[in-house]
Amino acid sequence: MILFFYNLALAVALVVSAPWWLWKMATTHKYRQGLRERLGRVPQRLLGDRRPVIWLHAVSVGEVLAVTRLVSDLDGAFPGHRVMISTTTRTGQELAQKRFGAERVFYCPLDLGWAVRAYLNALQPRLLILAETEFWPNLLSGCFRRGIPVTVVNARISDRSWPRYLRLRRLWRPFLRRLERVLAQSETDAARLTALGCDRDRVSVAGNLKFDVRAAQEAEITRLLRAKIGGLRFVLAGSTLEGEEAALVEAWPDLLAADPELVLVLAPRHPERFAAVAALLERAGAAWMRRSEWGIAPRPLKAGEILLLDTIGELASMYSLAAVAFVGGSLIPAGGHNPLEPAQFGVPIIVGPHYANFRAITDDLRSRDALRITEKSMLTRTLLELLLDRTEADRMGVRALEVFDEQAGATGRCITAVRAVLAASGERTA
- CA distances to 54, 225, 414 from 149, rounded to whole Å, are 10, 46, 15
Mean confidence (pLDDT) of the chain: 90
Residue 24 pLDDT more than 60? Answer: no
- Residues 234 and 323 sit within 8 Å (Cβ to Cβ): yes
Q: Is 176 helix (H, G, I), strand (E, B) or coil?
A: helix
99-115 mean pLDDT: 93
Confidence of residue 300 (pLDDT cuts 50, 70, 90): confident
pLDDT at 218: 82
pLDDT at 426: 80
pLDDT at 304: 95
Domain ranges for the chain, please list them: 33-207+409-424, 220-406
- Which positions are annotated as active-site residues? 63
Residue 21 pLDDT more than 60? Answer: no
Cα–Cα dist 78/66, whole Å: 19
Q: Give pLDDT tens digits for 175-225.
A: 999 999 999 998 999 999 999 999 999 999 999 998 887 755 788 889 888
220-406: CATH topology is Rossmann fold (3.40.50)
- Residues 248 and 343 sit within 8 Å (Cβ to Cβ): no
Residue 118 pLDDT more than 90? Answer: yes
Confidence of residue 357 (pLDDT cuts 50, 70, 90): confident
- Residues 233 and 323 sit within 8 Å (Cβ to Cβ): yes
Q: Is 378 helix (H, G, I), strand (E, B) or coil?
A: helix
Cα–Cα dist 356/334, whole Å: 8
Mean pLDDT is lowest, of 100-104, 312-316, 392-396, for 312-316
pLDDT at 8: 66
CATH architecture of the domain with range 33-207+409-424: 3-Layer(aba) Sandwich (3.40)
Q: Is 409 helix (H, G, I), strand (E, B) or coil?
A: coil
- CA distances to 229, 249, 402 from 302, rounded to whole Å, are 9, 17, 33
Q: Is 250 helix (H, G, I), strand (E, B) or coil?
A: helix
The neighbour count for residue 391, using CB atoms within 10 Å, is 7
**Residue 151: beta bridge partners?**
129, 181
Q: Which residues contact 361 (CB under 8 A, 6 or more apart)?
A: 208, 210, 338, 339, 340
**Residues 269, 327, 192, 401: is their CA dihedral positive or negative?**
positive
220-406 and 33-207+409-424 share a CATH fold: yes
Residue 25 pLDDT more than 70? Answer: no
Considering the entire predicted model, what is its pTM? 0.76
Q: Which residues contact 10 (CB under 8 A, 6 or more apart)?
A: 111, 112
67-79 mean pLDDT: 95
Confidence of residue 28 (pLDDT cuts 50, 70, 90): low
Which is nearest to 172 in space by CA: 139, 202, 136, 127?
136
Confidence of residue 356 (pLDDT cuts 50, 70, 90): confident
Cα–Cα dist 88/240, whole Å: 21
- Report the share of the chain in percent with pLDDT over 90: 69
Q: Is 330 helix (H, G, I), strand (E, B) or coil?
A: coil
- Residues 382 and 181 sit within 8 Å (Cβ to Cβ): no
Structure letter (DSSP) for residue 109: P
Residue 296, judged by CB atoms within 10 A of its CB (0-12, 13-18, 19+), counts as: exposed
Residue 295 pLDDT more than 80? Answer: no
pLDDT at 224: 85
Q: Give pLDDT tens digits for 372-415.
A: 999 999 999 999 999 999 999 999 999 999 999 888 899 999 99
- Residues 264 and 235 sit within 8 Å (Cβ to Cβ): yes
Confidence of residue 264 (pLDDT cuts 50, 70, 90): very high
**231 or 305, greater pLDDT:** 305
pLDDT at 20: 54
Cα–Cα dist 308/291, whole Å: 6
Q: Give pLDDT tens digits for 130-148.
A: 999 889 999 999 999 999 9
- CA distances to 203, 227, 316 from 417, rounded to whole Å, are 11, 43, 28
pLDDT at 35: 79
Tell me the H-state helices in 210-271: 220-228, 244-258
